[in-house]
Chains A and B, each alone.
Chain A
Amino acid sequence: MNETTLEMVHISKTFVGGVKALQDVTFRVEKGSVHGLVGENGAGKSTLMKILDGVYRPDEGTIRIDGEPVVMGNTRDAAAAGISLIFQELNLVPTLSAVENAFLGRLTTDRFGFVKWKEQRRKFVSFLDGLDFALDVDVPVGRLSIAEKQMVEIAKALLIDSKILVMDEPTATLTSNEIDKLFNIIRNLERHGITVIYISHRLEEIFQICQKVTVLRDGRVIDTTDVSDTSRTEIIEKMVGRKIDVEFPPRDYSPGDAVLEVKDLFTPGFLRDISFSLRKGEILGISGLVGSGRTEVARAIFGADKVEKGTMSINGRNVKFHSTVLAKHNSLGLVPEDRKEEGLAVDFNVSRNISVTNLSKVVSGKIFLNRRKEQSIAEHYVKELGIKTPSIFQKVQNLSGGNQQKVVLSKWLHADADILILDEPTRGIDVGAKFEIYVLMNELVKRGKSIIMISSELPEIFALSDRILVMHEGRLKGCVDKDKATPEILMEMAIG
């Protein structure tokens, strides 16, 4: 079994502008193994995989597959060499059926040029049966659940008879049942001699499924070991390059009276009968599977989506779910899941992104902007939240994920929001920056703000929340106190 199938030797890549993305990286993967690849964002994982996939060309170094040197000029070369990537973002065309998506770009035709629909459908269905997947293969995939879409995505990659499969955070949107299923499939692949390179931020998965793990940091390989010879903390230390004592800051818990109460919230065709309250100085976690309605609750409260019926009161005053403008005036703030698409204007600088929520604070007279006020406010938040940026005039596009998230948070502090709704606040943020966000959240509740935190990361939910709400298919399954919550309880509720 110790035969090496993939070798990437002395790979270096420097981007125009002098950024050294990879320096002398040597990466070997054994045939038929599952090999974990971990590292903080920006460590070079994706650059390395893009070189493997032919998206980038290395400045130096060679790639060998089964001992044969190969040159990846483009993604087609990579596919021909038996390499297949499953990306974090779903690569499906929503308007087409699962069958068509599975054969996308590879439709077979008869000698008259017509697509052989029946044959392909049969092939796909029997393939799914073999994997023990069940789904409607004829409806447009846009109508399937996120988990089902993920299945289509995996099936699509497996259908190409790939020798080496790269999976980039494949479980981010799957339920624990589906994760088990996926892991069974991966073990099955192993037996067929297919090699899997498994990229994940969820280290527990690395220990569950991988035989070896490679840690990258700052474009260099720090270590490659058998997973049996290492530990979670050891890997984290190697990833961040320093010893860390705790992943989560300590939390002293003392919420006050209810500041927000939501009763009988319904949205057209989805959310049903949502009631809960949030107390002053509390972090209320919302757990549940992706697609269970967590984000929809946040958007409904914030007035971003239509609400069918329901009442909400803030500090005892009844308020309407009318618009985001009203929500802002009622001192609500939303830090959305997708920072770049929903939270920021990435082409604008830090200062403009912060001031936008409350321009009335940066005017002289009624409507005329006062640049000096605006800049001093931006400077204030850059200092207070420790936003790492060369200046407040830097485009937020050029900041790291963690610093972008701090800019979004600053927006709402600037708007004097007392109730913050954070939707996946640490998604795509590296370990060090995550910790800073957690510290910041604790600091905010200490100052009397209240936080609703939606998260898919159970450790995060456990460590930070005072109470945890669990959602399932548009309904609230229940509310668990911090002390009584266990992963098993939450999972059971989340699955329904």
Chain B
Amino acid sequence: MLEKASILNTIKNNIVVLALIGLVLIMSILSKSFLTVSNIINILTQVSIYGIVACAMTFAIICGEFDLSVGSLLAVVTIVFIDMAKNYGFIAAVAASLLIGALVGVINGFLVSRVKISAFVATLSLMVSLKGLALFYTNGKPINYVHDGMYNLGNGSFLGLPYIVYMFFGFIAVSHIVLKYTKFGRNLFATGGNMNVAKMAGINVVYYKFIIFVILGLVTSFAGMIMACRLNSGNSLFGNDLAMSVVAAVVIGGTSLSGGRGSAIKTFLGMLVIGVLFNALLILGVQANWQDVIKGLILITVVSFDAFFSGKG
């Protein structure tokens, strides 16, 4: 049983890399414009903002929790950020955005860690409310504001790579170090691996279950600000597929939804797979609706594999 499990684990651990190589190979045959420096930079740029959220989601999933509300929060933040920047300036916009992120995190964290509602239900209700808020605030229309500094932050680049790609790499690196080498990170693993045991060992599991949602809220609001800078716009439609893409990426990377396992590097690989895949759909001219169908099926497949491999099947 052990041998078989470890073989399956090896396959599963390397399936990301294999999938990535396979995808890249197939795409370079199908399209000449795929394996070019500009397209690779393009892919990295495309995944950066969602990738930043994926780092925080990795923390949550390792801790055995989950957040569906990040997409709606992202939308709210882009709107508030643009609106505040337009009327009260950059600093006020940043402060308001972070405040909203923290507040949403606190509410989610409270519902999950204190009231002990399933994270799915708690974050689902916030997803709905925040979406309503975004629509209400803008009446369903995008709001725009162009500011050179902000535009440069979102679109500028250094040594050929956009700033946001560096930010993504930075988040991955910091997350990796925190998860692997700090007490905080290890206690997340313990909490997600077996909450009761962690509690008995004197780890304040309620605090960890709470704080990961605050981190998620803050990081998502950071991602929302970057997105607003990049697109000069706040829009209630932004982030519609955020939760789904991010969770798919984290799980494709090999972080199990059952908690207690995973790493930021895996999430990075998973994000690349998602990025390459979405890029491929675009390059191959797959129609947007079919892209949705494919994304949905990918999520189902990934989650099924995860459930199957983590021994529930």
Contacts and interface: CB of A to CB of B under 8 A. Distances in A.
Q: Do chains A and B touch in the complex (CB under 8 A)?
A: yes
Interface of A: 75-76, 79, 87, 91-96, 100, 104-107, 109, 113-115, 117, 143, 268-270
Nearest to B258: A95
A110 B215 CA distance: 24
A95 B260 contact: yes
A92 B259 CA distance: 14
A470 to B, nearest CB: 20
Contacts of A75: 200, 202
A60 B54 CA distance: 53
A113 B185 CA distance: 11
A107 B183 contact: yes
Contact of A96 (B183, B193, B200): B193
Contacts of B184: 113
Given A91-B197, A93-B198, A269 B186 contact: no
Interface stretch (B1-9, B101-109, B292-300): B1-9
Nearest to B204: A105
A93 B194 contact: yes
B190 interface: yes
Interface in B187-206: 187, 189-190, 192-194, 196-198, 200-203
Contact of B182 (A91, A113, A268): A113
Contact of A104 (B2, B6, B201, B260): B201
B186 A92 contact: no
A105 B194 contact: no
B190 A109 contact: no
A187 B189 CA distance: 35
A109 B183 CA distance: 7
A269 B4 contact: yes
> Which 8 A-B pairs have CB atoms at the shortest separation, nearest pair first?
A105-B201, A93-B193, A95-B260, A104-B201, A105-B202, A269-B4, A95-B193, A269-B1
Contacts of A104: 190, 197-198, 201, 203
Contact of A93 (B4, B183, B189): B189
Interface residues of B, number: 27
27 contacts: A75-B200, A91-B200, A93-B190, A93-B194, A93-B260, A94-B193, A94-B194, A94-B260, A95-B192, A95-B193, A95-B259, A95-B261, A96-B190, A100-B186, A100-B190, A104-B201, A105-B201, A106-B201, A107-B183, A109-B183, A113-B182, A113-B183, A114-B182, A115-B181, A117-B181, A143-B2, A269-B5
Given A75-B200, A96-B193, A143-B6, 11 more contacts: A91-B200, A93-B260, A104-B190, A105-B202, A106-B201, A107-B187, A113-B183, A114-B182, A143-B5, A268-B1, A270-B1
Interface in B77-120: none
Label chain B's interface by main secondary structure.
Answer: helix
B276 to A, nearest CB: 29
Given A95-B260, A106-B202, A115 B186 contact: yes
A358 B1 CA distance: 34
Nearest to A145: B2
Interface string B256-276: 000111000000000000000
Contacts of A115: 181-183, 186
B197 A107 contact: no
Contacts of B186: 96, 100, 107, 115
Contacts of B183: 107, 109, 113, 115
A265 B193 CA distance: 34
Contacts of B4: 268-269
A211 B12 CA distance: 53
Contacts of B6: 143
A96 B182 contact: no
- Interface class of chain A by DSSP: loop
A93 B198 CA distance: 8
Given A91-B200, A106-B201, A96 B260 contact: yes
B200 A95 contact: no
A91 B197 CA distance: 5
Nearest to B261: A95
Contacts of A107: 183, 186-187
B198 A105 contact: yes
A175 B196 CA distance: 27
A94 B195 CA distance: 11
A269 B4 CA distance: 7
Contacts of B1: 268-270
A475 to B, nearest CB: 14
B202 A79 contact: yes
A106 B261 CA distance: 20
Q: Which of A95, A96, A113 gathers most chain B CB within 10 Å?
A: A95
Interface string B195-237: 0111011110000000000000000000000000000000000
B197 A93 contact: yes
Contacts of B189: 93, 95-96, 100
Contacts of B182: 109, 113-115
Nearest to A91: B197
Nearest to A89: B196
A122 to B, nearest CB: 17
A114 B186 CA distance: 10
A402 B247 CA distance: 45
Contacts of B187: 105, 107
A274 to B, nearest CB: 15
A91 B201 contact: yes
Nearest to A92: B197
> Which has the most chain A C-beta neighbours within 10 Å: B4, B5, B201?
B201
Select the residue from B2, B4, B193, B198 with max chain A CB neighbours within 10 A. Answer: B193
B181 A105 contact: no
Contacts of A95: 189, 192-193, 259-261
B40 to A, nearest CB: 33
Contacts of A87: 200
Contacts of B193: 93-96
Interface string B148-188: 00000000000000000000000000000000011110110
Contacts of A94: 193-194, 260
B205 to A, nearest CB: 10
Contacts of B196: 91
Contact of B203 (A105, A117, A269): A105
Contacts of B260: 93-96
Contacts of A105: 187, 190, 198, 201-203
A407 B216 CA distance: 47
Interface in B240-296: 259-261
A135 to B, nearest CB: 14
Contacts of B2: 143, 269
Contacts of B197: 91-93, 104
Contacts of A96: 186, 189-190, 193, 260
A107 B186 CA distance: 9
